[in-house]
Structure 1
Amino acid sequence: MFDIFMTRLHEVTVVLYALSVLLYFIDFLQHNRKANRAAFWLLAFVWLLQTVFLFLYMVKTGRFPVLTIFEGLYFYAWVLITLSLTINRFMRVDFIVFFTNVLGFIIMAIHTFAPVQYESSVMAQRLISELLFIHITVAILSYGAFSLSFVFSILYLIQYDLLKRKKWGARLLRLADLSKLDKMSYVLNVIGVPMLMISLILGIQWAYLKVPHMIWYDSKVIGSFVVIVVYSIYLYLKVGKGLAGKQLALWNIASFLIVLINFFLFGSLSSFHFWYS
């Protein structure tokens, strides 16, 4: 019972870490200090939980946990979180903080869901199934964000056309102004991109454990990375190049079409995404 409780705490820690990465990503793009503070305190709580786990493990084994690869991974993740908190607190280097936390999250996910560290094969299989559940849930949430962003871009083009043709009326008044539609589309993509990235990290971990010979050139795998790339380009055009308006809305619509192709077409062509166990 205690082992199950500790396993659940590890899973909660991974979820909290994922939320922290999401908030750091928002701050990285928008210089949002509220998001930064929330991410910092979430990460501080994750660090506290990890420190407790580390201490309990040292008490249980009577040694410092670095003698096996999985012990080393856990300690490595703890070091990365410690460095991230220190940099965030004293140096304010957002670029380093964000990518350090992405790396730390990858290491923690690998450690948490690696079945080798569990003596019970039933517990190991349960962890793998829960890893798949989290992967699918986060992916669907990211697709939901992209879907709403797509809708806002469509509304932007409709509003843009009405204004250009000077079609004043009730339909025009019911739509939000162009700047608000553009902003909402952007914000939803800011949320969707890191969530899809987290989902990909967990999905790769699951495939590595469950699929004996994972095919990196599988259609679904390639399609998912293409989705990340096209939406990352969208964010670069918005933040780096200051692009806005009709062109950005059209890029966002095209990006969502790639999401649909990846979800329906590439998913059906995938060599391993059609079965889950």
Structure 2
Amino acid sequence: MFNLVMSRLHEGMIVIYAISILLYFMDFLHHDKKANRIAFWLLSIVWILQTIFLFLYMARTGRFPVLTLFEGLYFYAWVLLTLSLFINRILRVDFTVFFTNIIGFFIMAIHTFAPVQMPTTAMAKRLISELLLIHITMAILSYAAFSLSFVFSLLYLLQYKLLKEKKWGHRLWRMQDLSKLEKMSYILNVAGVPMLLLSLILGLQWAFLKLPHFLWYDPKIIGSFVLLIIYGIYLYLRVRKNVFGKSLALWNMAAFLIVLINFFLISRLSAFHFWYS
């Protein structure tokens, strides 16, 4: 019973951790104070859950949890989170929490889903299956965000064409103005990029645990990282280079073409995607 409760506790922490990092990413790009505030409180919840587990584990084992690799990983993740929250509240150093907890999330994912620490084979297999489920779910959510972003860019280009040609028909008035269409496209990509990154982290963790002959140069892995880089360039152009308008919309549509290629074509060339064992 204790092990089952701890497993569910860790899974909940991973989900909250992921949401918090997503919000910090939004703040990193767009100086969103509300997102920063919500992310901080979500991260505080993760810290409370980690601390509760730490003391429960110490009470159960009667010792400080640093004697094994996986105990050390957990304590390392807890120290990273504790220090990042302390620095954020006391020293007010911007973006420290965001970058530190990308590392912390990775460490927690390794600790939570690694089967070596599990007392039973059944529990280990269940956690690995749930790791795969979270990986796939986050990947699909990121693809959905990119798809909607593509639609808004398409509407932007259509609206742009109608305005340039001075076609003042009913289609023009039924669509949002250009600034709103561009903003929605951008926001959806801001949400999609960190979800794709976290999905890749969890997917690589699953592959290391499940596949006896894991290949870094698998076409699906390469395609996913290429996709992440392309959307990263989109965000860089938008935030740092102040690229707006038609050129950014065209880049976004080209990026979505890579999404389709990665999902429908490259996945079929992969050694393990679509046919999980």
Report the Cα offset of residue 99 of structure 1.
1.0
Aligned partner of 1:192: which letter?
G
Partner of 1:21: 21
Partner of 1:185: 185
Secondary structure at the residue paired with 1:273? coil
Aligned mates of 2:192, 2:88 — CA distance in 1: 24
Report the Cα offset of residue 93 of structure 1.
2.7
TM-score (norm: length of structure 1): 0.98
Query: Mean alpha-carbon deviation: is it higher for 93-102 or for 207-216?
Result: 93-102
Aligned mates of 2:149, 2:233 — CA distance in 1: 15
Report the Cα offset of residue 85 of structure 1.
0.8
Aligned partner of 2:88: which letter?
N
Q: 2:268 aligned with 1:271, yes or no?
A: no
Aligned partner of 2:147: which letter?
S
Equivalent residues in 2 for 1:101-250 (5 A)?
101-250=101-250
Partner of 1:59: 59
Task: Tell me the matched-pair count.
Answer: 277
Q: Deviations along 1:40-96, whole A, 9 cap, x unmatched?
A: 000001000100100111111111111111000000000111111112212333332
Q: Deviations along 1:115-142, whole A, 9 cap, x unmatched?
A: 0001100000000000000000010000
Aligned mates of 2:179, 2:272 — CA distance in 1: 42
Aligned partner of 1:188: which letter?
L
Aligned mates of 1:63, 1:198 — CA distance in 2: 33
Aligned partner of 1:189: which letter?
N
Aligned mates of 1:54, 1:89 — CA distance in 2: 23
Q: Give the root-mean-square deviation of aligned CA atoms.
A: 0.8
Aligned partner of 2:127: which letter?
L
TM-score (norm: length of structure 2): 0.98
Aligned partner of 1:270: which letter?
S
Secondary structure at the residue paired with 1:223? helix
Partner of 2:10: 10
Q: Deviations along 1:88-109, whole A, 9 cap, x unmatched?
A: 2123333322110100000000
Secondary structure at the residue paired with 1:216? coil
Moved over 6 A (4+): none
Equivalent residues in 2 for 1:44-123 (5 A)?
44-123=44-123
Once the two structures are aligned, what percentage of the paired residues are identical? 73
Report the Cα offset of residue 256 of structure 1.
0.5
Secondary structure at the residue paired with 2:272? coil
